[in-house]
Amino acid sequence: MTVVNVSRFLDEKAQTQSEVAALMVPRGRDSHGKIDYLRLSFRELAAEQNEWARRLRAKGIGKGSRVLLMVKPGLPLIAICFALFKIGAVPVVIDPGMGLKSFLNCVRRSQPEFLVGISLAVWVSRVFRKSFRSVRAKVKVGGPLDRVASGFAEEAAADTQRDDLAAVLFTSGSTGAPKGVCYEHGMFEAQVEAIRRQYQIEPGEVDLPMLPIFALFNPALGMTTVVPEINPSKPATVDPQKIVQAIQQCGVTNSFGSPALWAKIGVYCDSHDIELPSLKRILMAGAPVPPTLMKRFKRILTNGHVHSPYGATEVLPVSSVVDDEVLEIAAERSARGEGTCVGRILEGVEARILPLKDEAMEVGDLQRALPAGEIGEIVVTGPSVTKAYDQLPEATRLSKIVDGERVWHRIGDLGYIDADGRLWFCGRKVERVETVDGVFYTDRCEGVVNVHEKIFRSALIRYETDGQVVPALVLEPFAGMYPKSSDEEQALLREVRSLAAACEVTADIRHFFLHKGFPVDVRHNAKIHRLTLAKEFAGR
C-alpha cells in the first residue's frame, strides 16, 4: 500500500523551497519599532521536525501513540506537530480556553499516553493527577522561540496509510460538550488540496493565521507562517495595531480569523485610514460574516477579497462565498430573512438537505432530499469528511450516515439550497425555536434586525411567557452605542420592533431585550451562546 503521511509536505518544501522563510515568530521590537522576528527557512523547520521526531522516539513515542499536545503557538508547536505526524503518533489537540472542567473531561476521555507541553502543562498534569492517569511519560517544551536542531539530518517517516489516525482535534463545544474529532492522514491531504484549489494559493505566499491550528496547513501549501501577537485562549483581546503592523511589515497575502477579530481590525483601519494592499484574501470563519463587515473591507483590501468558508471541525471546507457575491446578491436577501449565504459547494463535496430529524439517520434518509428552497438539515460527504468521534460511539451514530464506503456528516445546521445552487445557512438545529405557530430560525430572524445601524448583533432565543414558548430577540448594540437612559432604550427597541414587524419572518416576534455583551465561544469569540442567553432571560 502507498504510504500517506502528512509530514511529507514539509519534507518536500525543504527540497523545493529550502531557503524560503517557513516560519516567522515575533520576539520583540527593534530600535526602530519594527517587529523583530525569529526566521526559519523550510529546510531549518524540517530540521526542527526531524530532531523532535528523534527525541520523541527516544521517549518511547511511536506509531499510534496518543500524545496530548499543550504547546504555545510558535516554533515548537508546528515542528512537534509535524514530528508526531512523521513518527505516526497521534497528537491530541484540546482548546485551552474551553474552561478547566471541560478541558479535564476531554483529557480523561481521550486517554493520552504521553504529554508534550510547556512547564505549566506539566504542572497541571501533576495537580490534576486523576485526569492524567493514562499519561505514562512527559516531555517538557520551551517557549515559542525554542530551537532544538543544530543542523539538518534526515529522519524516516512511519509507513502510515491514508486511513490511519493522524490526529484528534476537539470541537469548541459552542452548542454542546466538546468532542474529539478523528482525523486520518488522507483527510488532511484532501483538506490541503481543497483549500489550495478553492483559493488559488501559490507557494511563496505569506500567511498570518489567527487560529493556531490553521498554521499547520501552511507547510503543505508552501506559505510562510507569520505567528501573530495574539492570545489564542482570548482572541477577542487582540491589539489590532499589532496585527496591522505584521501584515504591513511582512507583506502578508493571506490571513484567517473570525469575524469578531476582523471587526476590531476593520475599525482600527478605518479610524487610521489604513489600506492593506498586500492581502490577496482574508478568510473569515467561525460564525456568519455580517455583510457590513465585508463592505468595510472592500475599501481596506485594495487588491484582495474577503472569503467566508463554511464547514465544521468535522468537515472543512464545505462551501465558500466571496464578498462581491454577498454584497451584490446575498446581503439584501439576508435582510429579508432568507438566512446567510455560505456560497457554492466545493468541488469533490456533495451536500443534501434532509427533513429535520433529531434521532439517528439511516442510509435510506439520504433518498428523502428536499427540493430547492426548502429548509432542512444539512448533510455532506467528501474526502475530508471525518468518520467518527473519539471514544463516543453514540455521538458518532447520531452524527454520521454510513453509505457503503462513503460517510455523510450531519453538521447540525439547518439551511437550504437555492435555485442557483447556493447553500444558505439558517441556524444551528439545537437553537431553533419551535412554537405552536411554527419554527423560527436564528439566522433568518437575526438577519432582519442586524441591518439596524446601532445593532452589532442579535440572538434569537426560546422564551416562555404565560406557559407558552415564543421567540424573542436579544440585541447587542455596537460599542459606544448602548442607550444611556430608559427613554433611549425604549426608542431603540421601538425602532427594532418596527424593522421586525415589516418582515414576514419576524412579524410574530413580540419580545425584544437589550444586552451589553453576548456570551460567545472561546475559539473564535464569534459564535453566540444562544442557549446560555435563553437561561439568562428566563422568567423576565
Element (H, E) at 399: helix 393-399
* pLDDT on residue 237: 85
Give me the percent of the chain exceeding a pLDDT of 70: 99
Three cell numbers written together for 220: 503543505
C-alpha–C-alpha distance, residues 271 and 469, integer Å = 44
Q: What is the pLDDT of residue 172?
A: 79
Secondary structure (3-state) at 211: coil
pLDDT tens track for 280-330: 999 999 889 999 999 999 999 999 999 999 999 999 999 999 999 999 999
522 vs 321: which has the higher pLDDT: 321
Task: Specify the pLDDT at position 231.
Answer: 85
- 277: left (phi > 0), else alpha (psi -120 to 50), else beta? alpha
In sequence order, which residues have a C-beta less than 8 Å from that of residue 286 and are 6 or more positions away? 211, 258, 259, 260, 521, 523, 524, 526, 527
Task: Pick the closest to residue 523 from 311, 211, 254 (CA basis).
Answer: 211
* pLDDT band for position 212 (cuts 50, 70, 90): confident
Q: At 37, which amino acid appears?
A: Y
**What DSSP string describes 314-350?**
TEEEEEEEEHHHIIIIIHHHHHTT--EEEEEEPTT-E
Domain boundaries, the chain: 1-183, 433-537
Q: What is the pLDDT of residues 236-266, one digit of tens each?
A: 789 999 999 999 999 999 999 999 899 999 9
Start-to-end Cα distance in the chain = 63
Q: Side chain identity at 241, as an amino acid letter?
A: Q
Cell, residue 33:
519599532
d(CA 220, CA 179) in angstroms, rounded, equals 26
Are the C-beta atoms of 425 and 442 separated by less than 8 Å? no
Q: At 5, which amino acid appears?
A: N
Per the omega criterion (within 30 degrees of 0), is the bond before 91 cis?
Answer: no
* Gap between the Cα atoms of 410 and 412, Å rounded: 6
Decide: 309 and 344 in contact? Cβ < 8 Å. no
Give dist(CA 73, CA 40) in Å, integer: 15
> Residue 485 pLDDT more than 90?
yes
Condensed to tens digits (0 to 9), the pLDDT of residues 366-409 reads 999 999 999 999 999 999 999 999 999 999 999 999 999 999 99
- What's the mean pLDDT when you consider all of the chain? 95
Task: Tell whether the model's pLDDT for residue 526 goes beyond 90.
Answer: no
Strand partners, 21: 41
CB atoms within 10 A of CB 189: 20
Backbone angles phi and psi of 399, in degrees to 5: -105, -10
| pLDDT for 176 beyond 80 | no
**pLDDT > 90? residue 424:** yes
pLDDT, residue 114, reads 98
CB 194 within 8 A of CB 348: yes
Contact of 229 with 247, CB cutoff 8 Å: no
Identify which of 261, 519, 310 has the alpha carbon closest to the alpha carbon of residue 426: 310
Give the pLDDT mean for 427-434: 96
pLDDT tier for residue 1 given thresholds of 50, 70 and 90: low
CATH fold for domain 1-183: Rossmann fold (3.40.50)
491-509 per-position pLDDT tens digit: 999 999 999 999 999 999 9
Closest among 156, 157, 151, 140 to 59, alpha carbons compared: 140
Identify whether the C-beta of residue 112 lies closer than 8 Å to the C-beta of residue 135. Answer: yes
**DSSP letter for each residue of 76-139:** HHHHHHHHHHHHT-EEEE--GGG-HHHHHHHHHHH--SEEEE-HHHHHHHHHTTTTTTT--EEE
Mean pLDDT of 435-444: 95
Question: Does the reported pTM lie above 0.85?
Answer: yes
Please state, in angstroms and rounded to a whole number, the distance separating the CA atoms of residues 515 and 219.
43
Angle at 176 between CA 307 and CA 210, to 5 degrees: 35
Look at 334-338, 458-462, 516-520 and tell me which has the smallest mean pLDDT.
Answer: 516-520
Residue 56: the pLDDT is 98
pLDDT surpasses 70 at 521: yes
> What per-residue string of b and e applies to 199-231 under the rule 16 or more CB within 10 Å gives b?
bebeeebbbbbbbbbbbbbbbbbbbbbbbbebe
Q: What percent of the chain is modeled with pLDDT above 90?
A: 90
Q: Is 428 left (phi over 0), alpha (psi -120 to 50) or beta?
A: beta
- The CATH number of domain 433-537 is 3.90.340.10: no
Average pLDDT rounded to a whole number, residues 128-156: 95
Question: Tell me, what's the pLDDT at 413?
Answer: 97
Say yes or no: do domains 1-183 and 433-537 share a fold: no
What's the rounded Cα separation, in Å, for the pair 515 and 475? 6
Within 8 A by CB and 6+ apart from 477, the residues are: 454, 455, 456, 483, 492, 514
